[in-house]
Structure 1
Amino acid sequence: MMWKAVGLSLLAFSFTVEVLSWVRRRNKAKKILNEVIFFPSEMGCVEHLLGPSKLYPCFCALPHGVETSLSRLLRHLLSATSSLDLCVFAFSSIDLCRAVLALHKKGVIIRVLSDKDYIAITGSQIGYLRKAGICVRSDVGSVYMHHKFAVVDESLLITGSLNWTLTAVQGNMENLIVTMEPELVRPFIQEFNRLWEINDPARTLFNSTSA
Protein backbone atom coordinates (compact mmCIF):
# COMPACT_ATOMS: atom_id res chain seq x y z
CA MET A 1 0.00 0.00 0.00
CA MET A 2 2.86 2.35 0.87
CA TRP A 3 4.50 1.91 -2.55
CA LYS A 4 1.15 2.38 -4.23
CA ALA A 5 0.64 5.66 -2.36
CA VAL A 6 4.14 6.82 -3.30
CA GLY A 7 3.49 5.96 -6.93
CA LEU A 8 0.22 7.87 -6.94
CA SER A 9 1.93 10.86 -5.32
CA LEU A 10 4.67 10.86 -7.95
CA LEU A 11 2.07 10.60 -10.69
CA ALA A 12 0.10 13.49 -9.23
CA PHE A 13 3.28 15.57 -8.91
CA SER A 14 4.24 14.85 -12.50
CA PHE A 15 0.75 15.80 -13.69
CA THR A 16 0.86 19.05 -11.70
CA VAL A 17 4.23 20.00 -13.18
CA GLU A 18 2.91 19.30 -16.68
CA VAL A 19 -0.20 21.43 -16.08
CA LEU A 20 1.85 24.34 -14.73
CA SER A 21 4.18 24.11 -17.70
CA TRP A 22 1.20 24.21 -20.09
CA VAL A 23 -0.26 27.24 -18.29
CA ARG A 24 3.05 29.10 -18.53
CA ARG A 25 3.32 28.33 -22.26
CA ARG A 26 -0.28 29.43 -22.81
CA ASN A 27 0.21 32.71 -20.93
CA LYS A 28 3.40 33.40 -22.84
CA ALA A 29 1.61 32.80 -26.15
CA LYS A 30 -1.22 35.15 -25.12
CA LYS A 31 1.16 37.96 -24.16
CA ILE A 32 0.08 41.11 -25.98
CA LEU A 33 2.62 43.39 -27.59
CA ASN A 34 2.88 46.88 -26.08
CA GLU A 35 5.86 49.04 -27.01
CA VAL A 36 6.89 52.69 -26.94
CA ILE A 37 9.37 54.12 -29.45
CA PHE A 38 10.95 57.55 -29.06
CA PHE A 39 12.53 59.72 -31.74
CA PRO A 40 14.75 61.22 -33.12
CA SER A 41 16.14 57.92 -34.25
CA GLU A 42 19.75 56.93 -33.75
CA MET A 43 21.70 56.68 -36.99
CA GLY A 44 22.02 53.21 -38.42
CA CYS A 45 21.87 51.31 -41.70
CA VAL A 46 18.48 49.72 -42.44
CA GLU A 47 19.39 48.03 -45.73
CA HIS A 48 19.29 44.63 -44.04
CA LEU A 49 15.57 45.21 -43.57
CA LEU A 50 14.77 46.78 -46.93
CA GLY A 51 17.18 45.19 -49.38
CA PRO A 52 18.67 41.81 -50.34
CA SER A 53 21.64 42.27 -47.99
CA LYS A 54 22.66 38.59 -48.14
CA LEU A 55 23.33 38.89 -51.85
CA TYR A 56 24.45 42.52 -51.91
CA PRO A 57 26.04 43.60 -48.62
CA CYS A 58 25.73 47.31 -47.85
CA PHE A 59 28.94 49.32 -47.68
CA CYS A 60 27.45 52.63 -46.53
CA ALA A 61 29.15 54.60 -43.76
CA LEU A 62 26.27 54.25 -41.28
CA PRO A 63 26.64 51.84 -38.35
CA HIS A 64 25.52 48.30 -39.20
CA GLY A 65 23.80 45.76 -36.99
CA VAL A 66 22.41 48.33 -34.55
CA GLU A 67 18.80 48.55 -33.43
CA THR A 68 17.38 52.07 -33.82
CA SER A 69 13.98 53.69 -33.44
CA LEU A 70 13.59 53.65 -37.22
CA SER A 71 14.57 49.99 -37.53
CA ARG A 72 12.06 49.06 -34.81
CA LEU A 73 9.32 50.92 -36.69
CA LEU A 74 10.31 49.25 -39.95
CA ARG A 75 10.24 45.79 -38.37
CA HIS A 76 6.67 46.33 -37.19
CA LEU A 77 5.56 47.58 -40.60
CA LEU A 78 7.31 44.77 -42.46
CA SER A 79 5.60 42.20 -40.22
CA ALA A 80 2.42 42.75 -42.26
CA THR A 81 1.28 39.61 -44.08
CA SER A 82 -2.20 40.56 -45.33
CA SER A 83 -3.02 44.25 -44.95
CA LEU A 84 -1.71 47.69 -44.07
CA ASP A 85 -3.95 50.71 -43.54
CA LEU A 86 -1.91 53.89 -43.36
CA CYS A 87 -3.32 57.27 -42.32
CA VAL A 88 -0.65 59.99 -42.25
CA PHE A 89 -0.55 63.76 -42.55
CA ALA A 90 2.78 63.96 -44.38
CA PHE A 91 4.81 61.19 -46.01
CA SER A 92 8.31 62.03 -47.30
CA SER A 93 10.52 59.38 -45.69
CA ILE A 94 12.21 57.33 -48.41
CA ASP A 95 12.95 54.41 -46.06
CA LEU A 96 9.32 54.17 -44.93
CA CYS A 97 8.18 54.45 -48.54
CA ARG A 98 10.49 51.57 -49.51
CA ALA A 99 9.00 49.46 -46.72
CA VAL A 100 5.45 50.09 -47.98
CA LEU A 101 6.49 49.33 -51.56
CA ALA A 102 8.17 46.10 -50.39
CA LEU A 103 4.94 45.00 -48.71
CA HIS A 104 2.96 45.85 -51.84
CA LYS A 105 5.34 43.73 -53.91
CA LYS A 106 4.71 40.79 -51.56
CA GLY A 107 0.96 41.07 -52.13
CA VAL A 108 -0.04 42.87 -48.93
CA ILE A 109 -3.23 44.90 -49.48
CA ILE A 110 -2.37 48.55 -48.75
CA ARG A 111 -4.63 51.57 -48.37
CA VAL A 112 -3.18 55.03 -47.79
CA LEU A 113 -5.05 58.14 -46.66
CA SER A 114 -3.23 61.48 -46.51
CA ASP A 115 -3.87 65.21 -46.33
CA LYS A 116 -4.75 66.78 -49.68
CA ASP A 117 -2.48 69.81 -49.13
CA TYR A 118 0.57 67.69 -48.30
CA ILE A 119 0.28 64.92 -50.89
CA ALA A 120 1.99 66.99 -53.59
CA ILE A 121 4.59 68.89 -51.56
CA THR A 122 8.26 68.64 -52.52
CA GLY A 123 9.68 65.33 -51.38
CA SER A 124 6.32 63.61 -50.89
CA GLN A 125 6.47 59.86 -51.55
CA ILE A 126 2.76 59.54 -52.29
CA GLY A 127 3.35 59.73 -56.04
CA TYR A 128 5.65 56.70 -55.90
CA LEU A 129 2.99 54.73 -54.04
CA ARG A 130 0.35 55.61 -56.61
CA LYS A 131 2.70 54.80 -59.48
CA ALA A 132 3.25 51.34 -57.96
CA GLY A 133 -0.51 50.74 -57.97
CA ILE A 134 -1.21 51.37 -54.29
CA CYS A 135 -4.62 52.89 -53.61
CA VAL A 136 -4.25 56.38 -52.12
CA ARG A 137 -7.00 58.77 -51.10
CA SER A 138 -6.81 62.36 -49.87
CA ASP A 139 -9.25 63.97 -47.51
CA VAL A 140 -11.88 66.26 -48.96
CA GLY A 141 -12.61 68.23 -45.80
CA SER A 142 -11.68 71.81 -45.02
CA VAL A 143 -9.53 70.88 -42.00
CA TYR A 144 -6.20 69.09 -41.94
CA MET A 145 -6.19 65.30 -41.96
CA HIS A 146 -3.64 65.29 -39.14
CA HIS A 147 -3.75 61.63 -38.11
CA LYS A 148 -0.52 59.62 -37.89
CA PHE A 149 -1.35 55.95 -37.51
CA ALA A 150 -1.02 52.60 -39.21
CA VAL A 151 -2.91 49.36 -38.67
CA VAL A 152 -1.05 46.17 -39.58
CA ASP A 153 -3.08 43.04 -40.38
CA GLU A 154 -6.04 44.57 -38.52
CA SER A 155 -4.34 43.53 -35.26
CA LEU A 156 -1.38 45.84 -34.61
CA LEU A 157 -1.64 49.61 -34.15
CA ILE A 158 1.21 52.09 -34.64
CA THR A 159 0.30 55.62 -33.60
CA GLY A 160 1.80 58.75 -32.05
CA SER A 161 3.14 62.18 -32.90
CA LEU A 162 5.48 61.00 -35.66
CA ASN A 163 4.93 62.27 -39.19
CA TRP A 164 6.44 59.97 -41.80
CA THR A 165 9.10 62.48 -42.77
CA LEU A 166 12.89 62.53 -42.61
CA THR A 167 12.77 65.58 -40.34
CA ALA A 168 10.48 63.86 -37.85
CA VAL A 169 12.45 60.59 -37.87
CA GLN A 170 15.91 62.12 -37.54
CA GLY A 171 15.42 65.59 -36.10
CA ASN A 172 12.34 65.84 -33.89
CA MET A 173 11.36 64.74 -30.40
CA GLU A 174 8.56 62.34 -31.33
CA ASN A 175 6.85 59.25 -29.98
CA LEU A 176 5.07 56.13 -31.19
CA ILE A 177 3.00 53.58 -29.35
CA VAL A 178 2.85 50.08 -30.82
CA THR A 179 0.12 47.86 -29.41
CA MET A 180 -1.97 44.79 -30.10
CA GLU A 181 -4.56 45.60 -27.43
CA PRO A 182 -7.87 44.88 -29.22
CA GLU A 183 -9.68 47.66 -27.33
CA LEU A 184 -7.20 50.18 -28.74
CA VAL A 185 -6.78 48.72 -32.23
CA ARG A 186 -10.51 48.41 -32.96
CA PRO A 187 -11.42 52.15 -32.81
CA PHE A 188 -8.58 52.99 -35.22
CA ILE A 189 -9.82 50.36 -37.67
CA GLN A 190 -13.29 51.89 -37.46
CA GLU A 191 -11.96 55.43 -37.90
CA PHE A 192 -9.87 54.46 -40.91
CA ASN A 193 -12.80 52.73 -42.59
CA ARG A 194 -15.01 55.74 -41.89
CA LEU A 195 -12.50 58.17 -43.39
CA TRP A 196 -11.80 55.85 -46.32
CA GLU A 197 -15.49 55.75 -47.20
CA ILE A 198 -16.22 59.48 -46.92
CA ASN A 199 -13.13 60.30 -48.99
CA ASP A 200 -14.05 57.95 -51.83
CA PRO A 201 -13.48 59.99 -55.05
CA ALA A 202 -16.57 58.40 -56.64
CA ARG A 203 -18.70 59.60 -53.75
CA THR A 204 -17.25 63.10 -53.98
CA LEU A 205 -17.89 63.23 -57.75
CA PHE A 206 -21.50 62.04 -57.26
CA ASN A 207 -22.17 64.69 -54.60
CA SER A 208 -20.71 67.48 -56.77
CA THR A 209 -22.73 66.51 -59.88
CA SER A 210 -25.98 66.09 -57.97
CA ALA A 211 -25.67 69.43 -56.17
Structure 2
Amino acid sequence: MTIFILCFLLLDTSSLGFPAKDVQVITDKQYFGVVRDCFREAKSSIKMMMFEASYYEKHLDSSSNLLIRELVAAKKRGVDVKVILERREEKERATLRNMKTGSLMAKAGVEVMYDPLNITTHAKLIIIDDGISIVGSTNWTYNALEKNHEVSVLIHSSEVANNLQNYFQSVWKTCSKGK
Protein backbone atom coordinates (compact mmCIF):
# COMPACT_ATOMS: atom_id res chain seq x y z
CA MET A 1 0.00 0.00 0.00
CA THR A 2 2.82 2.41 0.87
CA ILE A 3 4.44 1.77 -2.52
CA PHE A 4 1.14 2.54 -4.29
CA ILE A 5 0.75 5.86 -2.44
CA LEU A 6 4.37 6.79 -3.13
CA CYS A 7 3.96 5.98 -6.84
CA PHE A 8 0.76 8.02 -7.00
CA LEU A 9 2.44 11.01 -5.35
CA LEU A 10 5.33 10.85 -7.83
CA LEU A 11 3.03 10.48 -10.84
CA ASP A 12 3.15 13.34 -13.35
CA THR A 13 -0.54 14.32 -13.49
CA SER A 14 -0.08 16.37 -16.67
CA SER A 15 -0.38 13.15 -18.66
CA LEU A 16 -3.80 12.54 -17.10
CA GLY A 17 -5.35 15.58 -18.77
CA PHE A 18 -5.46 17.90 -15.76
CA PRO A 19 -4.93 21.34 -17.31
CA ALA A 20 -4.35 23.20 -14.04
CA LYS A 21 -1.12 22.94 -12.11
CA ASP A 22 -1.93 25.66 -9.59
CA VAL A 23 -5.28 25.51 -7.80
CA GLN A 24 -6.05 27.43 -4.62
CA VAL A 25 -9.06 26.62 -2.45
CA ILE A 26 -10.74 29.77 -1.11
CA THR A 27 -13.08 29.44 1.85
CA ASP A 28 -15.40 31.83 3.64
CA LYS A 29 -13.88 35.29 4.30
CA GLN A 30 -10.69 34.47 2.35
CA TYR A 31 -12.62 35.20 -0.86
CA PHE A 32 -12.62 38.97 -0.43
CA GLY A 33 -8.84 39.35 -0.11
CA VAL A 34 -8.03 36.91 -2.89
CA VAL A 35 -10.45 38.50 -5.37
CA ARG A 36 -9.46 42.05 -4.39
CA ASP A 37 -5.79 41.26 -4.98
CA CYS A 38 -6.53 39.61 -8.33
CA PHE A 39 -8.50 42.67 -9.45
CA ARG A 40 -5.65 44.95 -8.41
CA GLU A 41 -3.16 42.87 -10.40
CA ALA A 42 -5.35 42.52 -13.52
CA LYS A 43 -3.67 43.91 -16.62
CA SER A 44 -5.95 43.29 -19.60
CA SER A 45 -9.36 41.85 -18.75
CA ILE A 46 -11.84 40.87 -16.07
CA LYS A 47 -14.98 38.92 -17.00
CA MET A 48 -17.51 38.18 -14.27
CA MET A 49 -20.82 36.31 -13.99
CA MET A 50 -22.65 36.72 -10.70
CA PHE A 51 -26.03 35.62 -9.40
CA GLU A 52 -26.20 38.48 -6.91
CA ALA A 53 -23.99 41.54 -6.46
CA SER A 54 -25.19 44.01 -3.85
CA TYR A 55 -24.13 47.61 -3.32
CA TYR A 56 -25.02 48.88 0.15
CA GLU A 57 -25.57 52.64 0.39
CA LYS A 58 -25.70 52.50 4.18
CA HIS A 59 -22.54 50.39 4.48
CA LEU A 60 -20.08 52.03 2.11
CA ASP A 61 -17.12 49.96 3.28
CA SER A 62 -18.86 46.60 3.03
CA SER A 63 -16.88 43.86 1.30
CA SER A 64 -19.15 43.81 -1.74
CA ASN A 65 -18.92 47.59 -2.14
CA LEU A 66 -15.14 47.38 -1.96
CA LEU A 67 -15.05 44.66 -4.65
CA ILE A 68 -17.33 46.75 -6.86
CA ARG A 69 -14.95 49.69 -6.40
CA GLU A 70 -12.01 47.46 -7.35
CA LEU A 71 -13.78 46.50 -10.59
CA VAL A 72 -14.36 50.17 -11.38
CA ALA A 73 -10.73 51.01 -10.51
CA ALA A 74 -9.56 48.27 -12.89
CA LYS A 75 -11.73 49.74 -15.65
CA LYS A 76 -10.31 53.22 -14.98
CA ARG A 77 -6.75 51.95 -15.39
CA GLY A 78 -7.60 50.44 -18.80
CA VAL A 79 -8.65 46.88 -17.98
CA ASP A 80 -11.52 45.57 -20.14
CA VAL A 81 -14.23 44.76 -17.56
CA LYS A 82 -17.42 42.90 -18.51
CA VAL A 83 -20.08 41.73 -16.06
CA ILE A 84 -23.14 39.49 -16.46
CA LEU A 85 -25.73 39.68 -13.69
CA GLU A 86 -28.86 37.65 -12.95
CA ARG A 87 -32.22 39.25 -13.72
CA ARG A 88 -35.66 37.84 -12.92
CA GLU A 89 -38.93 39.52 -12.06
CA GLU A 90 -38.55 43.28 -11.65
CA LYS A 91 -39.61 43.26 -8.00
CA GLU A 92 -37.49 40.28 -6.99
CA ARG A 93 -34.84 41.22 -4.38
CA ALA A 94 -31.75 39.92 -6.21
CA THR A 95 -32.88 41.61 -9.43
CA LEU A 96 -33.40 44.94 -7.69
CA ARG A 97 -29.95 44.71 -6.11
CA ASN A 98 -28.32 43.63 -9.37
CA MET A 99 -29.96 46.42 -11.36
CA LYS A 100 -28.76 48.99 -8.82
CA THR A 101 -25.24 47.56 -8.74
CA GLY A 102 -25.13 47.17 -12.52
CA SER A 103 -26.23 50.76 -13.00
CA LEU A 104 -23.45 52.02 -10.71
CA MET A 105 -20.84 49.97 -12.57
CA ALA A 106 -22.16 50.97 -16.01
CA LYS A 107 -22.01 54.67 -15.09
CA ALA A 108 -18.32 54.11 -14.31
CA GLY A 109 -17.71 52.53 -17.74
CA VAL A 110 -17.99 48.83 -16.90
CA GLU A 111 -19.88 46.84 -19.56
CA VAL A 112 -22.83 45.27 -17.74
CA MET A 113 -25.35 42.85 -19.21
CA TYR A 114 -28.31 40.98 -17.70
CA ASP A 115 -29.35 37.45 -18.53
CA PRO A 116 -32.71 36.72 -20.22
CA LEU A 117 -35.71 36.65 -17.87
CA ASN A 118 -36.43 33.00 -18.67
CA ILE A 119 -32.94 31.81 -17.66
CA THR A 120 -31.34 31.87 -14.21
CA THR A 121 -27.65 32.70 -14.17
CA HIS A 122 -26.62 31.10 -10.91
CA ALA A 123 -22.92 31.01 -11.80
CA LYS A 124 -20.30 32.77 -9.74
CA LEU A 125 -17.39 33.09 -12.16
CA ILE A 126 -14.49 35.47 -12.64
CA ILE A 127 -11.88 35.23 -15.42
CA ILE A 128 -8.83 37.49 -15.19
CA ASP A 129 -6.26 38.15 -17.94
CA ASP A 130 -7.15 34.92 -19.74
CA GLY A 131 -5.16 32.88 -17.22
CA ILE A 132 -6.84 33.07 -13.82
CA SER A 133 -10.32 31.70 -13.10
CA ILE A 134 -12.28 31.89 -9.87
CA VAL A 135 -15.33 29.63 -9.65
CA GLY A 136 -17.42 28.86 -6.60
CA SER A 137 -20.44 29.55 -4.46
CA THR A 138 -19.79 33.11 -3.28
CA ASN A 139 -22.23 35.86 -4.24
CA TRP A 140 -21.31 39.48 -3.61
CA THR A 141 -23.63 40.01 -0.66
CA TYR A 142 -23.01 40.79 2.99
CA ASN A 143 -23.98 37.28 4.13
CA ALA A 144 -21.92 35.49 1.48
CA LEU A 145 -18.81 37.59 2.08
CA GLU A 146 -19.04 37.93 5.87
CA LYS A 147 -21.14 35.16 7.44
CA ASN A 148 -21.79 32.15 5.22
CA HIS A 149 -19.69 29.07 4.67
CA GLU A 150 -18.69 29.47 1.04
CA VAL A 151 -16.07 27.76 -1.10
CA SER A 152 -14.45 28.75 -4.36
CA VAL A 153 -11.34 27.76 -6.28
CA LEU A 154 -8.78 29.95 -7.99
CA ILE A 155 -7.23 28.20 -10.97
CA HIS A 156 -4.08 29.37 -12.76
CA SER A 157 -4.55 27.83 -16.21
CA SER A 158 -4.93 29.47 -19.60
CA GLU A 159 -6.65 26.32 -20.88
CA VAL A 160 -9.30 26.44 -18.15
CA ALA A 161 -9.64 30.23 -18.54
CA ASN A 162 -10.08 29.81 -22.30
CA ASN A 163 -12.86 27.24 -21.83
CA LEU A 164 -14.60 29.49 -19.31
CA GLN A 165 -14.06 32.51 -21.57
CA ASN A 166 -15.86 30.64 -24.38
CA TYR A 167 -18.71 29.87 -21.99
CA PHE A 168 -18.83 33.50 -20.83
CA GLN A 169 -18.99 34.74 -24.44
CA SER A 170 -21.81 32.30 -25.28
CA VAL A 171 -23.85 33.59 -22.33
CA TRP A 172 -22.93 37.23 -23.08
CA LYS A 173 -24.48 36.86 -26.56
CA THR A 174 -27.85 35.98 -24.98
CA CYS A 175 -27.88 38.92 -22.57
CA SER A 176 -29.17 42.48 -22.80
CA LYS A 177 -28.47 45.80 -21.09
CA GLY A 178 -31.68 45.67 -19.08
CA LYS A 179 -34.58 48.08 -19.37
Shared fold (TM-score, shorter chain, > 0.5): yes
What runs of 5+ residues in structure 1 fail to find an aligned partner? 1-30, 42-67, 205-211
Question: What residue in structure 2 maps to residue 91 of structure 1?
Answer: 53
Question: What residue in structure 2 maps to residue 35 of structure 1?
Answer: 24
Kindly name which structure, 1 or 2, has the bigger radius of gyration based on alpha carbons. Answer: 1
Do the aligned partners of 1:119 and 1:126 also contact (CA within 8 Å) in 2? no
1:71–1:87 Cα change, 3 Å: same
Pick aligned residue for 1:73 from 27, 30, 35: 35
SS at match of 1:125: helix
Q: Deviations over 1:86-141 (max 9, x none)?
A: 11111111011011011011010111101113342389522210111211110114
1:70–1:121 Cα change, 3 Å: closer
Structure with bigger RCO (C-alpha 8 Å, 6+ apart) = 2
What runs of 5+ residues in structure 2 fail to find an aligned partner? 1-19, 55-63, 89-93
SS at match of 1:78: helix
SS at match of 1:120: helix
Distance 1:152 1:90 in 2: 19
Q: Which residue type is aligned with residue 145 of structure 1? A: T
Distance 1:95 1:84 in 2: 16
Give the alignment's Cα RMSD to 1 decimal.
2.2
Question: What residue in structure 2 maps to residue 191 of structure 1?
Answer: 167
Pick aligned residue for 1:108 from 79, 93, 104: 79
Do the aligned partners of 1:158 and 1:177 also contact (CA within 8 Å) in 2? yes
1:192–1:127 Cα change, 3 Å: same
Question: What residue in structure 1 maps to residue 109 of structure 2?
Answer: 133
Aligned runs of 1:1-211 on 2, under 5 Å? Answer: 32-39=21-28, 41=29, 68-92=30-54, 93-117=64-88, 118-121=94-97, 124-200=100-176
